[in-house]
């Protein structure tokens, strides 16, 4: 199935702002036109939370409901052998990523809501495994957040590797904003960093803190559902959901506090305030934020020569407004944005494919490829 979209490329005039208030560069619309096709590559998917390309060009796709699919040669096959996945609110089978040396190691990494461990309910776990035909083998749980909770919010989660082969993954605040994100002795509201085998890197920022969770890399996050390594600098970029307003893009660094919920550009869903501050000493400012919230999910940088005008741009999916958001970056600032595939559905995941095309996971649709028109 192929559809044609006439995309309006939106450029922004800049409104200058003070770092500590609620304004930043905003849009004044000027238009040119650019056409792309989109083609559904994998159909009949519900919530394709994450997907990866295997060396042969086939895909592994995580469905939130707790199903792992292998898509190859036009056929979708269910893979067996997953650990128990708890379907609880926003929790389920979440992200998937390959080891950077997958062809030699065979390791596949996934995050999911797990009922294992103390407490009722579930919390986010990270596992690794290998694929043998239509089954998973060598399943190992590398990290399990504790305690479990019956709350259905904010499991995260995304996975990424850096240039040194260190593994990063996110866990949301689990709906416990006033306790988890600012406390390094508790799980939740954090980015974590591990060796590829699940051990703690000796360079982690809190390894010498007796009571801290040693896997923590950064803290003060609400619910990160986008994470990507910058193709040139190697920095780890993330985005996270705000409440009503205040979705953020950040570059995470070791030991830094990203402020949630002490500082935020958002408010409660009811319209009331939970903080009077958008900045405090010792807390990082986002490099970009959205108000109203776009509900970001999925994230990738555009690389290769398929989209020469967009080289180096950042793509972010919007669940709320159902489009792909293209961000033009200059000096670690978003200077322009464009809405792609408006109205296509809730965009859950994004990936650059081995063929150089952009692939998009869309809820209740499937995996879509974006093809520029000549």
- Mean pLDDT of each 10-residue bin along the chain, 374 residues long: 45 36 43 72 98 99 99 98 98 99 99 97 99 99 98 98 99 98 99 99 98 99 99 98 98 99 97 97 98 98 94 98 96 94 98 98 98 85
Q: Quick one: pLDDT at residue 24?
A: 61
CA distances from 364 to 37, 63, 76, 87 (A): 19, 11, 16, 18
The token pair that represents 271 in the structure block: 């319209």
φ, ψ (nearest 5 deg) of residue 154:
60, 65
CA distance 215 to 227: 17
Q: Quick one: pLDDT at residue 30?
A: 28
Q: Quick one: pLDDT at residue 2?
A: 53
Longest dimension (CA), the chain: 59
Please count the residues of the chain. 374
Q: Quick one: pLDDT at residue 25?
A: 55
Q: Quick one: pLDDT at residue 15?
A: 31
Q: Quick one: pLDDT at residue 336?
A: 93
Q: Quick one: pLDDT at residue 1?
A: 52
Residue 99 bears catalytic tag? no
Q: Quick one: pLDDT at residue 33?
A: 53
Q: Of residues 38, 70, 99, 154, which has the active-site annotation?
A: 154
Q: Quick one: pLDDT at residue 374?
A: 75
pTM, 2 dp: 0.93
Q: Quick one: pLDDT at residue 37?
A: 85
Q: Quick one: pLDDT at residue 36?
A: 80
**Topology of domain 80-293, per CATH?**
Neuraminidase (2.120.10)
């Amino acid at each position: 199935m192929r559809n044609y979209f006439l995309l309006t490329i939106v450029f922004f005039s800049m409104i200058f702002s003070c770092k500590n208030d609620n304004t930043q560069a905003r849009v004044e619309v000027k238009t040119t036109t650019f056409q792309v096709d989109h083609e559904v590559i994998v159909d009949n998917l519900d919530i394709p939370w994450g997907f990866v390309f295997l060396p042969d060009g086939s895909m592994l796709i995580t469905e939130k409901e707790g199903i792992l699919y292998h898509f190859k040669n036009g056929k979708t096959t269910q893979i067996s052998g997953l650990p128990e996945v708890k379907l609880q609110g926003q929790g389920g089978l979440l992200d998937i990523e390959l080891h950077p040396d997958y062809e030699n190691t065979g390791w596949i990494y996934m995050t999911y809501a797990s009922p294992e461990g103390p407490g009722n309910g579930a919390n986010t776990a990270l596992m690794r495994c290998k694929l043998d035909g239509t089954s998973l083998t060598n399943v190992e749980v590398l990290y399990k957040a504790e305690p479990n909770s019956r709350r259905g919010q904010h499991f995260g989660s995304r996975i990424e590797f850096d240039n040194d082969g260190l593994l990063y993954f996110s866990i949301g605040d689990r709906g416990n904003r006033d306790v988890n994100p600012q406390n390094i002795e508790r799980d939740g509201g954090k980015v974590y960093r591990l060796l590829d085998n699940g051990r703690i890197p000796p360079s982690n920022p809190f390894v010498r803190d007796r009571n801290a969770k040693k896997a923590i890399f950064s803290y003060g996050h609400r619910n990160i559902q986008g994470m990507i390594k910058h193709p040139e600098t190697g920095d780890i970029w993330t985005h996270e959901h705000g409440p009503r307003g205040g979705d953020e893009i950040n570059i995470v660094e070791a030991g830094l506090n990203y402020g949630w919920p002490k500082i935020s550009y958002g408010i409660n869903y009811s319209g009331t305030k939970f903080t009077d501050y958008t900045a405090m000493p010792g807390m990082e400012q986002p490099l970009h934020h959205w108000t109203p919230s776009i509900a970001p999910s999925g994230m990738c940088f555009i690389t290769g020569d398929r989209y020469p005008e967009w080289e180096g741009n950042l793509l972010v999916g919007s669940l709320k407004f159902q489009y792909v958001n293209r961000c033009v970056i200059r000096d670690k600032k978003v200077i322009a944005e464009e809405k792609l595939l408006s109205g296509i559905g809730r965009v859950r995941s994004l990936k650059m494919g081995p063929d150089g095309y952009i692939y998009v996971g869309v809820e209740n649709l499937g995996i879509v490829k974006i093809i520029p028109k000549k």
